[in-house]
Amino acid sequence: MLLLAFETSCDETSVAVLKNGCVLANAVSSQVKIHEEYGGVVPELASREHLRNLMPVARQALDQAGVTPNQIEAVAGTRGPGLPGALLVGLRASQGIAFILDKPFIGIHHHEAHLYSPWISGDPLSLDIDAFQPNVSLIVSGGHTMLVQVSAPMKHRVLGMTVDDAAGECFDKVAKLIGLPYPGGPELDRLAKEGNEKIHQFPRPKLHDDSHDFSFSGLKTSVRYFIRDNPEVLEDGLRLRDLCAGVQSAIVDVLVKKTVRAAKRHGLRCITASGGVTCNSRLRTVLEEVCRDEDFMLRLANPKLCTDNAAMVGMVAHMRLANDCEFTSLDAEIIPNWSLEQLA
């Protein structure tokens, strides 16, 4: 089964080709440079860039896979959640291609795609579903922070999510406050490696809260006040690195402790993580240490698949097709606020 998959929910234009669940190509065109000067994703610009890039990226994926369009047997595309204009470009393009090729179309939930990305591994990348264990999955990106219980493939339930900012948004906003370029997460991660996390302590919001929810807007505000009261920190390279390490440590501490607690509460012995913030070096290290100490199985998404990509969208479509799923109509609409609960 040759499958063509599209992802355009935010600021990555991505097209993948999969053969029987094996990733033959996963082409990604990032819009970071376009949004950099605005310090965040500008929805109108994102839609325009998807429109401009989608067909060249699709051609690149097909060429890399050595596949011609008429060999494609099914088409998948992200239907939601995401930015409406951005989703619309990818969904209509993928439905249009399915129509022209007269092949089935499957609309995919973006978070469901993230949920299975930690199980995509190897070279070539393929679904390691034989290793699957019931797990708690942390989806952590610039737009989302949530904990999901995955009791079996395609069977999941949201345990908690952020009530305000996503963790990646917190990284990016703090980075902006201290003058780092967008997106700030990777840059803050780099500086934090050379800093001492113990010098400046920041609050761990909702850490002792009984729910599985997160909150990161207060942390960002406390950094704002800290800088207002200690502006000289911005002029001192070492103190700036200590500040980065302190902020990163607070974010990672909350993410890891709440994930581990959710796993224990639900009797799950496996933790998975995906989304852009899963690229964070400290998050990866601390999760590895804790899971080793607690004897949990850990599956972290391959860094290439942490940020948005069509390979993970295609993989969910592959799983659905293998389960004789219903196809999605060619005039189905985007669902910008689609929640995982609605999907279940």
In the complex, which residues of this chain contact ligand KG4 (CB under 6 A)?
A: 10, 141-143, 168, 171-172, 183-186, 189, 275-277, 279-280, 307-308
Q: How far is the CB of 295 from Zn ion (least distance, A)?
A: 30
With CB under 5 A as the rule, give the number of residues binding Zn ion.
2
Binding test (CB under 5 A) with Zn ion, winner from 308, 310, 317, 320:
308
183 binds, among ligand KG4, Zn ion, none (CB under 5 to 8 A by kind): ligand KG4
Residues 128-157 interacting with Zn ion (rule: CB under 5 A): 141
Q: Which stretch binds Zn ion (CB under 5 A): 64-72, 159-167, 264-272, 302-310?
A: 302-310
Q: Using CB positions, name the residue nearest to ligand KG4.
A: 276
Return phi, psi of residue 31, to 5°: -100, 15
Residue number with CB closer to Zn ion (223 or 255): 255
165 binds, among Zn ion, ligand KG4, none (CB under 5 to 8 A by kind): none
Instruction: Report d(CA 173, CA 187) in Å as an integer.
Output: 12
**Each residue of 146-177: b (16+ CB within 10 Å) or e?**
bbbbbeebbebebbbbbeebbbbbbbbbbbbb
186 binds, among Zn ion, ligand KG4, none (CB under 5 to 8 A by kind): ligand KG4
Interior CA angle at 140 toward 57 and 39, to 5°? 65
Structure-token pair, residue 39: 């310090």
Residue 169 binds Zn ion, judged by CB under 5 A: no
Interior CA angle at 203 toward 163 and 145, to 5°? 30
Asked if residues 9 and 139 have their Cβ atoms less than 8 Å apart, the reply is no
Asked if residues 97 and 108 have their Cβ atoms less than 8 Å apart, the reply is no
**Each residue of 202-235: b (16+ CB within 10 Å) or e?**
bebbbeeeeebbbbbeebbebbeebbeeeeebee
43 binds, among Zn ion, ligand KG4, none (CB under 5 to 8 A by kind): none
168 binds, among ligand KG4, Zn ion, none (CB under 5 to 8 A by kind): ligand KG4
Residue 213 binds Zn ion, judged by CB under 5 A: no
Instruction: Report d(CA 42, CA 34) in Å as an integer.
Output: 9
Residue number with CB closer to ligand KG4 (185 or 314): 185
Closest CA to 96 of 49, 63, 51, 61: 51
Residue number with CB closer to ligand KG4 (44 or 63): 44
Residue number with CB closer to Zn ion (53 or 278): 278
Residue 7 binds Zn ion, judged by CB under 5 A: no
Asked if residues 290 and 256 have their Cβ atoms less than 8 Å apart, the reply is yes
Residue number with CB closer to Zn ion (40 or 218): 40
Q: Which stretch binds Zn ion (CB under 5 A): 52-60, 90-98, 101-109, 308-316?
A: 308-316
Asked if residues 12 and 308 have their Cβ atoms less than 8 Å apart, the reply is yes
Residue number with CB closer to ligand KG4 (103 or 114): 114
Residue 11 binds Zn ion, judged by CB under 5 A: no
249 binds, among Zn ion, ligand KG4, none (CB under 5 to 8 A by kind): none
**Each residue of 26-40: b (16+ CB within 10 Å) or e?**
bbbbbbeebbeeeee
171 binds, among ligand KG4, Zn ion, none (CB under 5 to 8 A by kind): ligand KG4
Binding site for Zn ion (CB under 5 A): 141, 308
